[in-house]
Structure 1
Amino acid sequence: MIHEDFIYITDKGIYCPYGRFYLDPQQPVDRAVISHAHGDHAVSGNNEVYCTAATAAFMQLRYQRNAAKTFNMIAYKQAFTINGVEISFLPAGHMLGSAMVLMTYDGVKYLYTGDFKLQADGSCEPIEFAEADVFITESTFADPAITHPDPVAEIQKLNEIKVNILLGAYGLGKSQRLIRLINDHAPQKKILVHHKVMPLCAVYEKDGFHLGNYQIYNRKLMKQQDEYVYIVPPFTFDSYIRATGVKRLFASGWKNLQVNQNDTLFISDHADWSDILAAVKLVKPQQIWTLHGNGERLKAYFEGNIFVKILN
């Protein structure tokens, strides 16, 4: 029997009362199961954290002493138990170390996606699904009107831009994917990376996900017009709003973050509408519970076929 209260939202985040743990808590808690290292899923200050080794490495790099009191680093598909709830991690395809959380309790399987994507990505582990009774999915882009374009076609747009490019991107996950894509599909470009992004890249390299050619930013190089692409995090990108001699682009799945009408770079690390539907077919759930977005369209789409509950 599915426990309708297996997880619910509290002021600290997603709570599982049966296992007495939180999933991706928004405030420090005693026991946290963390899907990946982005700041909106992995806060500092938790007492005990269960996550993949890469997620622990990113959190320790970002938060240092305050990352967590104790890390339990779990390999993909390695089963562990917290207060009677059996848990295992499956690759989520979102970024290096990202995991979907498969939880089994009273014979019922609950699959929490965290953030996930189906698109191929040479900078992280490819997604792997498991069948579950309840599919607890992000719904960031759960809208039939949203279709994410082919990332290769998007990155090949850079080949037509002959001036230097200031490329804004989130430092963790997106930047590393862009480095890999540019090396593979716009190899004549010379990649410069912001100094705060370089240590994150080092974790990728250490884990065996080689990104190709890139080097730390050098101001003198960017003064030359030699097809440089300077990848910078948002705060730096915003501070260079008056930069001259460069084409400004921001890589994102969000339309409002595109800064040029003529030169867009729609590259998302989330599932779009068709990807979520494909995931449902693979998971074969009896119920769908939605998080991190608007689940109303999924509820309407599956009405009469699969029960959909909106948790947020």
Structure 2
Amino acid sequence: MILDDFIAFNANGLYCRYADFYLDPQQPVTNAIISHAHADHAVSGNKNVYATEATLAFMQLRYAKNYAKIAYTIPYNQPFNIGDVQLNFIPAGHMPGSAQVLMEYKGIRYLYTGDYKLQPDYTCEPIEWVKADVLITESTFADPDTQHPDPVEEIKKLNDIKINILLGAYSLGKSQRLISMINRYAPQKTVLVHHRIMPVNAVYKKLGYDLGEHQVYNRKLMKEQKEYVYIVPPFTFDSYLRATGVKRLFASGWANLQANAQDTLFISDHVDWNDILETVEQVQPQQIWTLHGDGRHLKAYYDQRIFVKILS
């Protein structure tokens, strides 16, 4: 029997009371299952942290000794137990080390996706599919009107821009994906990287990911017009609001983060509407529980076919 309260939100985040652990807690807790290393999913100060090798490496880079009091490195597809719940990390395709969390309790399988994507990405493990009775999916872009374009075609837009480009991107995950894609699909561009992104790139290299050619930013270089692409984190991108002699772009799936209407770069690391429908087809759940977005469209779409519960 599916337990309606198997996981539920409290003041610290998404909690499983049947084994006393949290999924991506928002405050430090005793037992934290971390799906991936982005800051909105991986806070510092937890006592016991269960995560993949890559996730722990990125957390250690960001939080130093405070990344965990006790860290448990869990490989993909290797079951482990907390209390009476068996857990298993399944590749999520979002960034290196990102994991879906398959939880089994009293014969019922609950699959927490964390953030995930279906698009091919040379800088992380591809998503893997498992069957589950309950699909607990993020719903950031769970809207029929939202369909992400082909990321390769998006990055190829850079080929038509002949002046230097200031490219805003999040430091962990998106920047590295962009470096790799530019080297593959806009190879005449020279990639410059903000100095705060370089330590993240070093972790990627240690994990075995070859991002391709790039170099740390040099102010003198951007004074030349040689088709440079300077990748910067959001805080730096915003400080260049009045920059001249460059084309400003921000790589994101969000329309409101695009820097201008004439030139956009819609590259998302999340599933869109069609991706979620494909996920449901692959997982074949009896129920769908939605997180981190608006689940109303899914509830209406699956009306009378699959029960949809909106957790947040």
Counterpart of 1:191 in structure 2 is 191
2:160 matched residue in structure 1: 160
1:101 maps to what in 2? 101
Tell me, in whole angstroms, the C-alpha distance in 2 between the residues paired with 1:60 and 1:176.
18
Q: Which amino acid counterpart does residue 263 of structure 2 have in structure 1?
A: D
Query: Within the alignment, does 1:112 sit opposite 2:112 as a pair?
Result: yes
Corresponding position of 2:225? 225
Aligned counterparts of 1:242 and 1:65: Cα–Cα separation in 2: 39
Q: Do structure 1's residue 124 and structure 2's residue 116 form an aligned pair?
A: no
Of the structure 1 ranges 133-142 and 200-209, higher mean CA displacement relative to structure 2 is found in 200-209
TM-score of the pair, normalised by structure 1: 0.99
For residue 3 of structure 2, what is the aligned residue in structure 1? Answer: 3
Stretches of structure 2 that go unaligned for 5 or more consecutive residues are: none
Alignment-derived partner of residue 288 in structure 1: 288
TM-superposition CA deviations, 1:215-248 (whole Å, max 9, x none): 1111111111101000000001001111111100
1:308 and 2:305 matched? no
CA distance in 2, matches of 1:72, 1:215: 34
C-alpha deviation, 1:251, in angstroms: 0.2
Once residues 170 and 260 of structure 2 are traced to their aligned partners in structure 1, the CA distance between those partners, rounded to angstroms, is 18
Counterpart position of 1:42: 42
Distance in 2, Cα, partners of 1:85 & 1:194: 43
Matched, 1:244 2:249: no
Cα displacement (A) at 1:19: 1.3
TM-score using structure 2 length: 0.99
**Structure-2 residue corresponding to 1:149:** 149
* 1:274-294 Cα shifts (integer Å, max 9, x gaps): 000000000000000000100
Q: Distance in 2 between matches of 1:96 and 1:219?
A: 30
Letter matched to residue 3 of structure 2: H
Query: For the aligned residues, what is the CA RMSD?
Result: 0.5
Moved more, 241-250 or 266-275: 241-250
Letter paired with 2:309: K
Task: Give the CA deviation at 1:162.
Answer: 0.5
Give the CA deviation at 1:39: 0.5
| Counterpart for residue 28 of structure 1 | 28
Q: CA shift at 1:166, angstroms?
A: 0.4
Moved over 2 A (4+): none
Cα distance in structure 2, aligned partners of 1:220 and 1:84: 60
Give the letter for the 1:128 counterpart: E
Question: Alignment partner of 2:59: what SS?
Answer: helix
* Offset from partner CA, 1:112-131 (integer Å, 9 cap, x none): 00000000001100000100
**Number of equivalenced pairs:** 312
1:38-117 matches, within 5 Å, as: 38-117=38-117
Mean Cα displacement is larger for which, 196-205 or 108-117?
A: 196-205
Q: Which amino acid aligns with 2:162?
A: K
Give, in whole Å, the separation in 2 of the partners of 1:209 and 1:99. 18
1:169 maps onto 2:169 in alignment: yes
Give me the whole-angstrom Cα distance separating, in 1, the residues matched to 2:216 and 2:19: 44
How far 1:161 moved relative to its partner? 0.3
CA displacement 1:268-312 (0-9 Å, x = unmatched): 000000000000000000000000100000001001000000001
Q: Secondary structure at the match of 2:200?
A: helix
